[in-house]
Amino acid sequence: MGKKLLLLCLIILGFNNLVHSQSFFSRYINGILMDTSDITKPQFLIYPTLAYAPETSWEIGLSSLYVYYANRDTTNRLSEINGFTFVTLENQYGIWFDHAIYSDLNKWFFLGRIRIQSFPLFYHGIGMDTPEDYIALVDANQVLIKERVLRELKRNLYFGLEIDFQRMSSVNFKLAEEQQEINLPLGSAGSDNLGLGVGLVYDDRHNVLNVRKGNFSELAYLNYMPAFSNFGFQTIISDNRIFRPVGKNNVFAAQLLGQFNMGDVPFNQLALMGGDSMMRGYYLGRFRDRNQIATQVEYRMLPLPLGFTDRLGAAAFAGAATVFPDFSRASIHKVVWSAGGGLRFLLFPKKDIYTRLDVAFTQEGTGFYFFIGEAF
């Protein structure tokens, strides 16, 4: 949620045993606190959220999670579908879907996300030397659809097609009060861009929401051709993650992310630093440029050795990142940092899925995040 302060997550509704004749309260306790359901059975969770941010006023949302094993076979990897919808008192809205779906025997892997939203964006400019205070608030309607359709070539190695469609329309740059004028970036009038490409993925994770041991590595190339897009450019993405067990319950995780753009890149598709996954504590897009290199490490204690419960965990994390126009002007002196920690609650013990509440600190402020599943 960037710089949003999560104020409320009052109710978590578990629908593990809807077919039974138990009372709603009993199902709630059984599904969430006891989790006595069959491990092979799909599980669905829905919960409300309430948040506040200066650009949106109050935001009311509803989040959901559906997890399952293909053919109810636990030797398959755990598939997950996340949904989130929200409305604000400023008549803004959003519908988000994220998924990581594995077919039987893990032969096919579908990884993607959908964003449909009317939501303001803070624009600070381009580069690492941009001011801490935003210079414009960008009102816009956005559609983002990214999908990877991957086929296993050999054990854990996938290859396939990638598609990325991004539309930004009804764009309006509202200058901050102290700004007289700014140089509007490329794409400030809006754009439709369709990228087609290929991806090579190595993935031996069993549970994408809480990886105890494994590796994930993606190398992707996308070409936004003028025949299908308002702008012509190319993007290369390299995303590499490792997860190593430390003792019985602890996990060390690390990620190295690179995004590199060439051509005429609109401002909304530059490499954006920040968000709820990488460089927590920074608003997504606080820093943006043609290229980004970011890294983070996290130590997870799942659960904590408290003695009286095995449902509570914790994590500590730190990261560093930079954006730059080209490699000749990349500078280690313009790297920013992020660090913090959080609590974990074991939501589905049978499937080893935790909720996380993270607090992140940066040179510019603090961010709060509440999500199901780990950040990466």
Q: Which amino acid is at 266?
A: P
Q: How many helices (H) and strands (E) does the chain have?
A: 1, 21
Residues 237 and 218 sit within 8 Å (Cβ to Cβ): yes
Residues 166 and 181 sit within 8 Å (Cβ to Cβ): no
Mean pLDDT of the chain: 91
Residues 125 and 135 sit within 8 Å (Cβ to Cβ): yes
pLDDT in tens, 187-201: 999 999 999 999 999
pLDDT in tens, 284-320: 999 999 999 999 999 999 999 999 999 999 999 999 9
In this prediction, residue 15 carries a pLDDT of: 41
> Residue 359's beta-bridge partner residues?
341, 368
**What's the whole-model pTM score?**
0.90
Count the residues in the chain: 376
The SS3 call for residue 34 is: helix
Q: Which of 3, 334, 325 is nearest to 186 (CA)?
A: 325
Does the structure show a pLDDT above 50 at 17? Answer: no
The SS3 call for residue 370 is: strand
